[in-house]
């Protein structure tokens, strides 16, 4: 019942938003068909989420097709099959940001978008914009190519060092000192792991002051061996490291939420007052949306009592 009410309110909100931005769309020179498409997508996604009973939307047959499967879902006697779908939908939906395309719209949506794009007179411009926006995503990957460039340069520079040759005597002078300290060899081995980093840093150092300690050149000469052994894997590792770092940090954030506090049941609301006496909390909340068992419930005011 509350869920039914939710659907009515949601429909009113959708209608209000769509009519309120109509002028804005006109001012931006955006075809009215786009606005209708926005409303249709919005309603379709909301109906597919099965969070509420929606009043039958008049007009296009598509609404019937979309709404009819929603009716059995709306019977509260079948919550088990629904919430999992809802979970997938919401968790997937929370992550994307603007500009990212979701494949979840379904074939009909895609077909409509395609026909809409084709039927529009501004198709070429829109296509260009579409390409721009699509290419906005892979930019990080493109950046990785410039990032991947320097290592090859580094390898070339490193390769140019041995002809100077004088380093090798430098090594020989350095080595007699080092063999006494067996730590030097263990110290060299880790360079395999961080070959690129030490390469870049030492080369930067050597470029800025070519006469710096022979130890730098020594390190360079040794790292050449690493570079010869597998320069391309090293570069790939570098790229992967950059990408995976970004991905990991995102994933970690998501995981932290997921393991710690994330639940499919959530209340989004505002608070009037939050008070505590010892371990008893009282909250006066208002204007809230409660998502519970895959259903949305709305409340104007709520009082809550918790024990900590």
Binding residue for other proteins, selected from 46, 174, 219, 234, defined by CB under 8 A: 46
Give least dist CB 19 to other proteins, A.
Answer: 10
Q: What is the DSSP string of 106-171?
A: -HHHHHHHHHHHHHSTTHHHHHHHHHHHHHHTTHHHHHHHHHHHHHHHHHHHHHHHHHH-THHHHH
For residue 232, the tally of other CB atoms under 10 A from its CB is 12
- In order, the DSSP letters of 58-115 are PS-HHHHHHHTTHHHHHSTT-TTTHHHHHHHHHHHHHS--TTPPPGGG-HHHHHHHHH
By CB under 8 A, is residue 67 in contact with other proteins?
Answer: no
Q: Report, in Å, the least distance between residue 249 CB and other proteins.
A: 21
By CB under 8 A, what part of segment 74-93 binds other proteins? 90, 93
Backbone angles phi, psi at 269, to 5 degrees: -160, -175
Query: By CB under 8 A, is residue 62 in contact with other proteins?
Result: no
Task: Using the rule CB under 8 A, give the single segment among 5-13, 190-198, 221-229, 233-241 that binds other proteins.
Answer: 5-13
For other proteins, the binding residues in 139-168 under the rule CB under 8 A are: none
Using rule CB under 8 A, residue 281 touches other proteins: yes
- The pairing of strands 295-307 and 280-292 is antiparallel
User: What are the backbone angles phi and psi of residue 292, rounded to the nearest 5°?
Assistant: -140, 125
Does residue 228 belong to the site contacting other proteins (CB under 8 A)?
no
- Give, in order, the Cα–Cα distances in Å from 98 to each of 34, 101, 263: 17, 8, 24
Specify the residue, 116 or 242, whose C-beta has the smaller distance to other proteins: 116
Binding positions for other proteins, 233-272, rule CB under 8 A: 261-263, 265-272
- Between 64 and 306, CB nearer to other proteins: 306
Question: Interface mask (CB under 8 A) for other proteins, residues 9-38, using x and -?
Answer: xx-xxx-xx--xx--xx--x-xx--x--xx
**Number of C-beta neighbours around residue 277 at 10 A:** 7
Cβ-based nearer residue to other proteins, 47 or 235: 47
Residue with smaller CB distance to other proteins, 91 or 164: 91
Residues 90-119 contacting other proteins, CB under 8 A: 90, 93-94, 96-102, 104-105, 109, 113, 116-117
Residue 217: enclosing H or E segment and its boundaries? helix 214-229
The number of residues that bind other proteins (CB under 8 A) is: 89
> Is the Cβ of residue 129 or residue 153 nearer to other proteins in the bound state?
129
Among residues 119, 129, 243, 252, which is the contact residue for other proteins, using CB under 8 A? 129
């Amino acid at each position: 019942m509350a869920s039914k009410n939710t659907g009515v309110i949601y429909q009113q909100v959708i209608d209000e938003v769509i009519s309120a931005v109509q002028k804005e769309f006109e001012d931006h020179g955006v075809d009215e068909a786009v606005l209708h498409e926005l409303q249709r997508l919005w309603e379709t996604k909301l109906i597919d989420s099965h969070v509420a009973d929606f009043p039958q939307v008049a007009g296009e047959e598509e609404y019937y097709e979309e709404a009819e499967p929603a009716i059995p879902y709306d019977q509260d006697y079948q919550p088990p099959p629904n919430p999992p779908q809802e979970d997938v939908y919401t968790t997937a939906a929370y992550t994307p940001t603007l500009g990212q395309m979701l494949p979840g719209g379904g074939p009909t949506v895609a077909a409509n978008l395609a026909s809409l794009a084709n039927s529009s007179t501004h198709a070429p411009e829109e296509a260009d914009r579409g390409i721009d926006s699509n290419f906005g995503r892979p930019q990080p990957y493109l950046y990785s190519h410039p990032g991947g460039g320097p290592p090859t340069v580094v390898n070339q520079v490193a390769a140019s060092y041995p002809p100077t040759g004088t380093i090798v005597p430098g090594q020989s002078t350095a080595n007699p000192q080092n063999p006494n300290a067996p730590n030097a060899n263990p110290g060299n081995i880790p360079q395999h792991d961080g070959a690129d980093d030490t390469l870049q840093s030492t080369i930067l150092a050597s470029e800025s002051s070519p006469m710096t300690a022979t130890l730098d050149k020594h390190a360079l000469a040794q790292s050449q061996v690493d570079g010869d052994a597998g320069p391309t894997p090293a570069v790939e590792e570098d790229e992967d490291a950059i990408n995976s770092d970004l991905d990991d940090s995102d994933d970690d954030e998501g995981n932290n939420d997921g393991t710690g506090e994330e639940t499919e049941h959530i209340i989004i609301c505002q608070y009037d007052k939050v008070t505590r006496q010892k371990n008893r909390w009282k909250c006066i909340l208002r204007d809230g949306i409660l998502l519970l068992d895959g259903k949305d419930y709305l409340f104007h005011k709520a009082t809550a009592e918790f024990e900590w």
